[in-house]
A and B are shown apart, each in its own frame.
Chain A
Amino acid sequence: MALYILGALLVVALAAFIIGRARAISIAGREISSLHSRPTYHGGFLAIWASVPAFLATILLASLSGSYVENAVLDKFSDTLSTIGSAQTQAFLRDVRSLAETAGETGRQVILSTKGELREQAELAAELYTSQISTVNVAMLVLSVILVLAGGVYGYTRIKVEKRNRHFVEKFITGILVICSAVAILITIGIVFSLIFESIRFFQKVPFFDFLFGYHWSPQSAFENASGTSLAGDNSRIFGAIPLFVGTFLITFIAISIAAPLGLMSAIYMSDYASQRFRAIAQPVMEILAGIPTVVYGFFAALTVAPAIRGWGEAVGLSVSSESALAAGVVMGIMIIPFVMSLSDDVINSVPQSLRDGSYAMGATRSETIRRVVLPAALPGIVSALLLAVSRAVGETMIVVMAAGLAANLTINPLEAVTTVTVQIVTLLVGDQEFDSAKTLAAFALGLVLFVITLCLNVYALYVVKKYREQYD
């Protein structure tokens, strides 16, 4: 119902806009320029008054109505429900909802989880539920109509020649922009807080330092006894995250060792050596490289690079596991080359041409100019580009899931299989899980650690970039 009303309000807004504009034109008569604001602003003014109050009221009612109706049902059937547990009550409500939704339709099978007397009660409750919902819907409709009429009439009578509706519309737009950015910020804050709270729950089961500094990771053997509380002693021994950090670090290190030189050198070539023509071709190619989904890199790593490395290893008599840190690291390195390149290209290009000219005019060659003037000037920016690349590599999931393996080996041998923080988050959450088991919550704790690491890297990198920008502005 709410959706229909909101749809109708769009039409109302459009109509009000046209009416308001026509009204403004007719008030002004021949002299349109006597209006303080152009007619469209008066149209906007009327559209806002006619639709926005009703829009807000509908959304408010719709979001409150669900819990209101449920509470009404729970109230009515409190006698029955007081005897059963909360899980049963949830099942009861679920059934009530599905019964109510299918009430009018015949021949549709509803799968219900309650049985016997509770089932009969649920059917009764569903009737109550249905009638309550329709009451709410009627209320919503009536309220909307009243608000549209009231707002419309108010707005219509306020359209005057000297009315400053241009400013009104301006303020309204400002308000909308503020609300949108507030929503984005609040959602971010919400995610961070849920991460923190779930992590705290995890740390109640597994001590913080056991998690952070433990070197044995095997959450599959997490054991919970019958009452649902974990055996803290065991858990603190199997949730040691050091192998994951080491694995993440190892792969990131390999990736950066590949991406940093290649990305940086190609950025230098592109900005200071390449001809216009070459740039015009090469830049789009790099963008294509940057646009390849990481899952594609992932199976490239797993199916092409890993076997190749294994083959080479065997040829020289090294034992290489079929999933190796090296394969994942190399492919991840390739993946972030365009990233490193375009960031350093920006930085190198923002070193003013006048500095290069100064150096050339002194008789310096190109590479002397790059080494002695451009790179030192761009260094802070390049460092921060590399930090951003590191944080990208640390958070990368798909490639390592496919190519690095799941074994939480504590090793820095790049030829062995290792696992990373992101891979483990995936494996912890894949499949059926109790939401509040230590195993699931561990994913939040890992997520939090990952978040803190990348946040620090990004903040520091951006800080460096900013300082560096100021130097040339």
Chain B
Amino acid sequence: MAKSEIKMSGKDVSVSYGAKQALFDVNLDIPAKQVTALIGPSGCGKSTFLRCLNRMNDTIDICRVSGDIRLDDQDIYHRDIDVVELRARVGMVFQKPNPFPKSIFENVSYGPKIHGLVRNKTELEEIVVNSLQRAGLFEEVKDRLHEPGTGLSGGQQQRLCIARAIAVSPEVILMDEPCSALDPIATAIVEELIDELRENYTIVIVTHSMQQAARVSQQTAMFHLGHLVEVDETDTIFTNPSDQKTQDYITGRYG
């Protein structure tokens, strides 16, 4: 794997929910145009770290974040940073598909509309079609763009959410266990999609499936009880981990 530039970086990131500390001094660099997988047992802080990257933790009253998190060498927790703009640059896909109870078209056009990215209807349609195509969903839904997005199958809904996220042309896409609510076939489709998206986007994905991490990611970070245990190229992690905990976890000896 060629050494590539750093898109995002976290330095000494600590997070606590009220009195409970969930992350301890995490240092992690996210290389551009690669897929970084975050693995580790439940409750170890993977989602918490992911949510720091687009400041979704701001929506939780009791959550406190400290440390230095940068996007293109810009401190995203700086006073001058507009969270709205940040989230347009760092998109997110959730564990459970959550399309809005609107039509497929409106779901995808939501972001471009609120950010004023389009001047007229034609441009909007272009973006919607283009996003759906890149999410590999267009062929399946082109005849029913104006039917509710909630009427799609789980896998289609998740791809709709991906289309919704890429419609605002983000630079980074965060995915929190995007396949855990999907069946194996839908999972395979989404994994293929992630692999394609890597060409244009920087992707951070939380996953509980070791195979998935091995298949789609180039870098893997192992978390345990709020600490970053180790981070390395995915091949190295899975063939020759330096930490015993990682070894145990990926071979299934650890819960």
Contacts and interface: CB of A to CB of B under 8 A. Distances in A.
Interface of A: 275-276, 352, 354-365, 368, 372-373, 376-377, 471
Given A372-B110, A376-B101, A377-B100, A363 B88 contact: yes
Contacts of B134: none
A358 B84 contact: no
Contacts of A276: 61
A363 B114 contact: yes
B150 to A, nearest CB: 8
B161 interface: yes
Contact of B91 (A361, A364, A372, A471): A361
Contacts of B86: 363
Q: Which 7 A-B pairs have the closest CB atoms?
A: A363-B87, A361-B92, A354-B98, A363-B88, A358-B98, A362-B111, A363-B84
Contact of A354 (B61, B91, B94, B165): B94
B56 interface: yes
21 contacts: A275-B61, A355-B101, A357-B59, A358-B94, A358-B98, A358-B100, A358-B161, A358-B164, A359-B100, A360-B56, A360-B59, A361-B92, A362-B87, A362-B88, A363-B87, A363-B115, A372-B114, A376-B102, A377-B101, A471-B101, A471-B150
Classify the interface of chain A: helix, strand, loop or mixed.
helix
Nearest to A472: B101
Given A360-B87, A372-B114, 4 more contacts: A359-B110, A361-B56, A364-B84, A364-B114
Contacts of A377: 100-101
Interface in B124-169: 150, 161, 164-165, 168
A373 B100 contact: yes
A360 B92 CA distance: 10
B198 interface: no
A360 B161 CA distance: 13
A69 B72 CA distance: 99
B80 interface: no
A364 B114 CA distance: 7
A376 B84 CA distance: 22
A208 to B, nearest CB: 45
A354 B157 CA distance: 14
B208 to A, nearest CB: 19
A197 B112 CA distance: 63
A275 B164 CA distance: 30
B88 A357 contact: no
Interface size class of B (residues with CB under 8 A): 20 to 34
B172 to A, nearest CB: 12
Most interface-central of A356, A359, A364 (chain B CB within 10 A): A364
A275 B60 CA distance: 11
Interface in B78-119: 83-88, 91-92, 94, 96, 98-102, 110-111, 114-115
A73 to B, nearest CB: 72
Contact of B85 (A355, A361, A363): A363
Nearest to A366: B59
B54 interface: yes
A354 B111 CA distance: 16
A275 B86 CA distance: 24
Contacts of A361: 54, 56, 87, 91-92, 94, 165
Contacts of B150: 471
Contacts of A275: 61
Interface in B168-202: 168
A206 B241 CA distance: 94
Contacts of B111: 362-363
A362 B164 contact: yes
Contacts of B91: 361-362
B17 to A, nearest CB: 13
Nearest to B95: A354
Nearest to A356: B59
A362 B165 contact: yes
B98 A355 contact: yes
A467 B92 CA distance: 30
B2 to A, nearest CB: 31
Contacts of B59: 356-357, 360
Interface in B33-74: 54, 56, 59, 61
B98 A357 contact: yes
Nearest to B99: A358
Contacts of B100: 355, 358-359, 373, 377
Contacts of A365: 84
A372 B98 CA distance: 15
Most interface-central of B91, B94, B101 (chain A CB within 10 A): B101
Contacts of A368: 114
Nearest to A352: B98
A360 B51 CA distance: 12
A354 B99 CA distance: 9
B94 A357 contact: yes
Contacts of A362: 87-88, 91, 110-111, 114, 164-165, 168
Nearest to B87: A363
Contacts of A471: 101, 150
A357 B176 CA distance: 13
Contacts of B83: 363
A365 B98 CA distance: 18
Most interface-central of B96, B98, B102, B115 (chain A CB within 10 A): B98
A399 B59 CA distance: 43
Contacts of B114: 362-364, 368, 372
A358 B95 CA distance: 11
Most interface-central of A354, A358, A362 (chain B CB within 10 A): A362
A357 B56 contact: yes
A381 to B, nearest CB: 12
B56 A363 contact: no
Nearest to B93: A361
A56 B59 CA distance: 63
A369 to B, nearest CB: 9
B192 to A, nearest CB: 23
A372 B101 CA distance: 10
Contacts of B54: 361
Interface string B232-251: 00000000000000000000
Contacts of A364: 84, 110, 114
A362 B115 CA distance: 9
B177 to A, nearest CB: 13
B19 to A, nearest CB: 15
B82 to A, nearest CB: 9
Contacts of B164: 358, 362
Nearest to B112: A362
